[in-house]
Chain A
Amino acid sequence: MAGEILPGPDDVILVDDIHKTYHLGEVSVKALRGMSLTVKKGDFLIVTGRNGSGKSTLMHQLGLLDSPDDGHIYLSGKEVTGMREKDRSEIRLRDLGYIFQEFALIAELTALENVMLPTMMIEKTEVCREKAREMLAQVGLQEQTTHLPSQLSGGEQQKVAIARSLMNEPDVLFADEPTANLDLESAQDVLLVFDRLNKEEKHTIVMVTHEHEETIYGNRIITLSDGKISYEENHV
């Protein structure tokens, strides 16, 4: 199609001119107004901006939790806009990991069970259990495997969520303000986990934050304003 941008071989994410408008009664809020961006393999992209700038809306489109009204999104070379829910679910399961600000753990499952859950769609229980133990060890929670979320601190819960997001070896990790509900020390802990995952394990990460000091972890920073990228910066 004329004018359509296609992803290159190193592009994990390609966003091409997406729009999203929310209708709240009679009021329409244009959350994204023609957003375009590319994320390459191994990038640690920080998305920042004021409240209402469209950061979370962008993450929801990229994480396939919502659909744009217009434009195209490619994940790992596949166009995901217009996909059936069944296929989107499959991509959420296998190709991407999503970390919520509110942790989004299932209260009745232990740390180990929360982590192994997505992989149970694919692997046998014993394999899932072993892998989940490894992932929890990677985020430093090898001693808390049998704890319920209510028995863990905020930082620990977020680490469980990170471990869960890594279980199916996703192409990209999305983290939507992962430190917003954490104290300073826990936030630092979680950020170091992301840093290690990016630098040592070469994971591609897209993280939303409105804390300026957290931008130092990314190699690229985009600042959103009124649903568009207003500023972009690359760190060496």
Chain B
Amino acid sequence: MKTSKRIPFFLIVRHVRHSNKGTLALIVFLMAIAFINLLFINSLFSGVVESNQSQLINTRTGNVMITPAKGSDFIDNPAAVVKAVDKVPGVQAAAAETLLPGSIEFGGTRGNFDVTAIDPTTQEKATTVSQKMTAGSYLKPGDTNGIILGDSIAGKKENDTDFAPNGIKVGDTVNVITDSTSHPFVVRGVFKTKFNGTDDRAFVTNAALNQIAPALQGKATDVVVRADHRGNEDKLVAEMKAAGVTGNLRTWQQLAGSVREITSSFVTINALMTVVGFFIAAVTIFIIIYVDVTHRRQEVGILRAIGVRSPLVVMTYVLQAAVYSFLGVAMGTVLYFAIIFPYFKAFPFKIPIGDVSLSIIPWDYLFRAFTVVAVGMLSGLIPALIGTRRPILDDILNR
């Protein structure tokens, strides 16, 4: 390094070492708050999107859903399909579902809700519905007259004209009506996933299906496939096809429907809030650094008066601003990942569409960290440039 280039680093180290620790801590803390604000807004919206997508995957479609091939109404021999899918690397579980045509009747009123026959054992591995029971218990294999209901069916309603306005309790009997025939089922449990597409469903066992609709025995309307992890769905579809799995194989993204719209809306809101957040953070950081450098203009004058060239003086304050910003990002990172993130993981926001904890994509974190440092450096550059263009005496004499 050229001899003179060491001066900015020399000054920065001494500045950090000897400057007022309270002031330094306050500046770094304010920078950290600006950074956390940027992270938090993004994480919250990412959390909403993440929560919504997870609910879709965990409780409805799985990572991949197999539906009948074009021209067919059912998947024949679903057990064989599940077995074949289970062997594909990356598949965690698969479960066949059979949608019953019909409706549910309770207390003299009828509601059009999906009643789906499942194998509780495989379904428990492929979806998380069994973990979302708010009353009673999950279905047991072989239960021929038990049913579990989603909260949208069993929960209390605001309007008397709604289906089962006072709610349905565990132990109540509901009638499943198929082909104009009423089949009584005892409510074993109620689940609440907070995902509309799941909470308006009801489940019975395949054993019950065999009794009320024997024609559908050995047929499925879909197979839900859960992957080890999210993100490799296209590869999984290709591998399942290569393994001889037939039918219409679609990823959760292709099935997203309303979730895609919600996601898209939140992504748009997130982008807008991020822009606003960046602007606020930029202004905050600019003011902090600008005030600090302006406050030290006498020092700028002294450096120039003793012969330190202006570009080196500018570099000193730009690097100093970078140090502040870097320390702010470091402190913000520690506060965020040691306190805020775990807190909201343990106590997520309870909102109607689900429990939302914070979620941050590494790239978003890096981008925000880089932006804070860049804005900080720019904020140091401007007053330093102004300072070095003023007459030296004006700086030294603070006039």
Q: Is the CB of A121 within 8 A of B18?
A: no
Report chain A residues within 8 Å CB of B308.
Answer: 89, 93, 117-118, 121
Residue A152, interface by CB 8 Å: no
Minimum CB distance partner of A113 in chain B: B14
**Which of B44-52, B208-216, B257-265, B298-306 sits within the interface?**
B298-306
Residue A120, interface by CB 8 Å: yes
Report chain B residues within 8 Å CB of A100.
Answer: 305, 396
Report chain A residues within 8 Å CB of B14.
Answer: 108-109, 113
* Known interface pairs A106-B299, A106-B302, A122-B3; 20 further A-B residue pairs with C-beta atoms within 8 A, sorted by A's residue number: A65-B391, A65-B396, A66-B393, A90-B309, A92-B305, A92-B306, A98-B305, A106-B11, A107-B18, A109-B11, A109-B14, A117-B7, A117-B10, A118-B308, A120-B3, A120-B6, A120-B7, A121-B4, A122-B4, A164-B306
Q: Is the CB of B6 within 8 A of A60?
A: no
In whole angstroms, what is the CA distance A117 to B309 when docked?
12
Most buried by B among A86, A108, A113, A124: A108
Q: Is the CB of A85 within 8 A of B310?
A: yes
Minimum CB distance partner of A123 in chain B: B3
Report chain B residues within 8 Å CB of A108.
Answer: 11, 14-15, 17-19
**A-B residue pairs in contact (CB < 8 Å), sample of 17:** A65-B305, A66-B393, A89-B304, A89-B307, A90-B307, A105-B302, A108-B19, A109-B14, A113-B14, A120-B6, A120-B10, A121-B307, A121-B312, A123-B3, A124-B3, A164-B306, A168-B307
In whole angstroms, what is the CA distance A117 to B15 when docked?
14
In whole angstroms, what is the CA distance A168 to B307 when docked?
10
Report chain B residues within 8 Å CB of A109.
Answer: 11, 14, 18
Residue A94, interface by CB 8 Å: yes
Given A89-B304, A108-B15, A164-B306: A125 in contact with B6 (beta carbons within 8 A): yes
In whole angstroms, what is the CA distance A93 to B301 when docked?
14
Residue A193, interface by CB 8 Å: no
Residue of A92, A105, A107, A123 near B307 (CB, 8 A) is A92
In whole angstroms, what is the CA distance A98 to B15 when docked?
24
Residue B99, interface by CB 8 Å: no
Q: Is the CB of B307 within 8 A of A93?
A: yes
In whole angstroms, what is the CA distance A85 to B312 when docked?
14
Produce 1/0 per residue, B358-399, CB < 8 A to A.
000000000000000000000000000000000111001000
- Seen from chain A, the residues whose Cβ lies within 8 Å of a Cβ on chain B are 60, 63, 65-66, 85-86, 89-94, 98, 100, 102, 104-109, 113, 117-118, 120-125, 148, 164, 168
6 closest A-B pairs by CB? A93-B307, A108-B18, A92-B307, A121-B4, A118-B306, A104-B302
Query: A69 to chain B: closest CB distance in Å?
Result: 13
Given A94-B307, A109-B18, A118-B308: A104 in contact with B396 (beta carbons within 8 A): yes
Contact residues of B between 298 and 353, Cβ < 8 Å to A:
298-299, 301-310, 312
Q: How many Cβ-Cβ contacts under 8 Å join chain A to chain B?
A: 86
In whole angstroms, what is the CA distance A118 to B284 when docked?
34
In whole angstroms, what is the CA distance A124 to B302 when docked?
21
Report chain B residues within 8 Å CB of A89.
Answer: 304, 307-310
Report chain B residues within 8 Å CB of A104.
Answer: 298, 301-302, 305, 396
Residue of B11, B303, B312, B391 near A66 (CB, 8 A) is B391
Minimum CB distance partner of B388 in chain A: A85
In whole angstroms, what is the CA distance A120 to B10 when docked?
9
Contact residues of B between 1 and 58, Cβ < 8 Å to A:
3-4, 6-7, 10-11, 14-15, 17-19
Minimum CB distance partner of B7 in chain A: A120
Query: A152 to chain B: closest CB distance in Å?
Result: 14
In whole angstroms, what is the CA distance A167 to B15 when docked?
22
B interface bracket (residues with beta carbon within 8 Å of A): 20 to 34
Q: Is the CB of A65 within 8 A of B392?
A: yes
Query: B39 to chain A: closest CB distance in Å?
Result: 32
Most buried by A among B10, B306, B310: B306
Query: A203 to chain B: closest CB distance in Å?
Result: 17
In whole angstroms, what is the CA distance A122 to B11 when docked?
16
In whole angstroms, what is the CA distance A89 to B303 when docked?
10
In whole angstroms, what is the CA distance A104 to B3 when docked?
23
Report chain A residues within 8 Å CB of B299.
Answer: 106-107
In whole angstroms, what is the CA distance A65 to B7 when docked?
21
Q: Is the CB of B310 within 8 A of A98?
A: no
Query: A48 to chain B: closest CB distance in Å?
Result: 21
Q: Is the CB of B305 within 8 A of A121?
A: no
Minimum CB distance partner of A85 in chain B: B310
In whole angstroms, what is the CA distance A85 to B10 when docked?
24
Q: Is the CB of A65 within 8 A of B307?
A: no
In whole angstroms, what is the CA distance A66 to B391 when docked?
7
Most buried by B among A121, A122, A164: A121
Query: B134 to chain A: closest CB distance in Å?
Result: 62
Query: A159 to chain B: closest CB distance in Å?
Result: 16
Report chain B residues within 8 Å CB of A124.
Answer: 3
Residue of B15, B307, B392, B393 near A118 (CB, 8 A) is B307
In whole angstroms, what is the CA distance A117 to B11 when docked?
9
In whole angstroms, what is the CA distance A100 to B396 when docked?
10
Query: A7 to chain B: closest CB distance in Å?
Result: 22
Report chain B residues within 8 Å CB of A122.
Answer: 3-4
In whole angstroms, what is the CA distance A93 to B313 when docked?
14
Given A108-B15, A120-B3: A98 in contact with B309 (beta carbons within 8 A): no
Query: B314 to chain A: closest CB distance in Å?
Result: 13
